[in-house]
Structure 1
Amino acid sequence: MVKRIMSDFAAVADFVVVYVAEVHPTDGWAMSKNADIRQHRSLEERLAAAEMLALHDIPCPILVDTMDNAAVRAYAAMPDRLYIVLDGVCVYQGRPGPGGYHPEEVRDWLQKFSG
């Protein structure tokens, strides 16, 4: 659904993904169908994991959080969260995922904005 929103609103908004600490590392709280990604111990490992994400045809730039998790701390973005930033101001902050992850709210906001 997020890829579709990115496509539908490409003329209205710039999209980015910020890759943060791995939520389900194989050496931590792993899930059975996850990719084989260990918890990052260096920026190089985090960058390599983000490159694996890029292989899933993500239609926008992928930014990578620092090893001190500055983006997670600033935006409470763990495990996932959606934001809309307009002119440097956060105008939409979704609830933390997975339960609060609602891409349709982003679609609704962008439709009203571009209306």
Structure 2
Amino acid sequence: MRLNETYHAFKDRMDFYCIYIQEAHPTDGWQVARNLNDDVLHAQPETIEARAKIAEVCTLKLDMQMPMLLDNMSNEVDTLYAGLPERLYVLNSDGVVEFRTVVGSPGFDVEAWEAAVNRAV
């Protein structure tokens, strides 16, 4: 996974976090064929403990090696950063957004994110 490669290459020079937000395609909401095919079948969690369990499954299935944090059950990070369903960001040391990918799976541009990480270090 290229995210892991970038994380390992730069983790000594900047902080990396994956923030697990609400389920984008829960079984009790808008389910998509890809999730069915990949056996990613989770109801929208109602507690932080349930969200943590799903995040752990995600970490293991994707071999995510950077630290994972959980959004709160009010979905504060998701709301502030328009993270649903997935998005990559680079923030500077003052917390100012220096780079963000376009919202959604088609905008999950790892190459552009890697270039932004390179510029930031």
Which band: TM-score by shorter chain? Answer: 0.7 to 0.9
Give SS of 1:110's match: helix
Uncovered stretches (5+) of structure 2, i.e. residues with no partner: none
CA distance in 1, matches of 2:5, 2:39: 23
1:66 aligns with 2:72: yes
Number of the residue aligned with 1:105: 112
Query: Equivalences for 1:25-36 in 2 at 5 Å?
Result: 25-30=26-31, 31-32=35-36, 33-36=38-41
Q: How many residues align?
A: 114
Uncovered stretches (5+) of structure 1, i.e. residues with no partner: none
CA distance in 2, matches of 1:110, 1:82: 11
The structure with more helix, counted as a fraction of residues: 2
Number of the residue aligned with 1:77: 83
CA distance in 2, matches of 1:76, 1:113: 22
CA distance in 2, matches of 1:110, 1:51: 25
Shift of 1:68: 1.0
Tell me the C-alpha RMSD between the 2 structures.
1.6
TM-score of the pair, normalised by structure 2: 0.83
1:47 aligns with 2:52: yes
Sequence identity percentage: 30
Shift of 1:55: 1.8
Give SS of 1:3's match: helix
Give SS of 2:108's match: coil
